[in-house]
Amino acid sequence: MGKCYIPFHFEQIYMTGVSTLVLMTETVILTGTVLPDSDTEKRLVEQAGPELEIIDVSSKEELVESATDPIGIMTIETDVDESVMEAFPSLEFVSVHGIGVDMVDVDAATERGIPVFNTPEYCIEEVVTHTMSLLLACERRICQYNTDVKSGGWDYKLEGPISRLSTKTVGVVGLGGIGVEVVKRIESFDVDIVGYDPYVSTEEMEQHGVVKADFESLCERSDIITVHTPLTESTRNLFDVSAFESMGSGVTLINAARGGIVDHPALYDAVVDGTVAYAGLDVLESEPPDDDRLLGLDNVVVTPHAAWYSEDALMELQRQAGRNVADFIRGDTPEHVVNGSVVE
What pLDDT is recorded for position 34? 66
Taking the CB of residue 14, how many other CB atoms lie within 10 A of it?
8
What pLDDT is recorded for position 287? 92
**Contact (CB, 8 A) for 302 and 294:** yes
**Contact (CB, 8 A) for 97 and 321:** yes
Cβ-based burial of 103 (10 A; exposed 0-12, middle 13-18, buried ≥19): middle
Low-confidence ranges of the chain (pLDDT < 50): 1-24
CA–CA gap between residue 265 and residue 217 (Å, rounded): 22
**Contact (CB, 8 A) for 19 and 38:** no
CA–CA gap between residue 106 and residue 272 (Å, rounded): 38
Candidates 112, 305, 319, 330; catalytic one: 305
What pLDDT is recorded for position 7? 46
What pLDDT is recorded for position 81? 97
What pLDDT is recorded for position 5? 47
206 is annotated as an active-site residue = no
What is the tens place of the pLDDT at every residue in 116-167? 999 999 999 999 999 999 999 999 999 999 999 999 999 999 988 999 999 9
41 is annotated as an active-site residue = no
305 is annotated as an active-site residue = yes
271 by DSSP, 3-state: which?
Answer: helix
pTM passes above 0.85: yes
Q: Which residues contact 198 (CB under 8 A, 6 or more apart)?
A: none
Candidates 258, 264, 323, 336; catalytic one: 258
Cis-peptide into 89, omega within 30 deg:
no
List domains and CATH numbers for the chain. Answer: 8-120+311-337 (3.40.50.720), 124-302 (3.40.50.720)
Q: At what angle do helices 177-186 and 124-139 cross, to 10 degrees?
A: 40
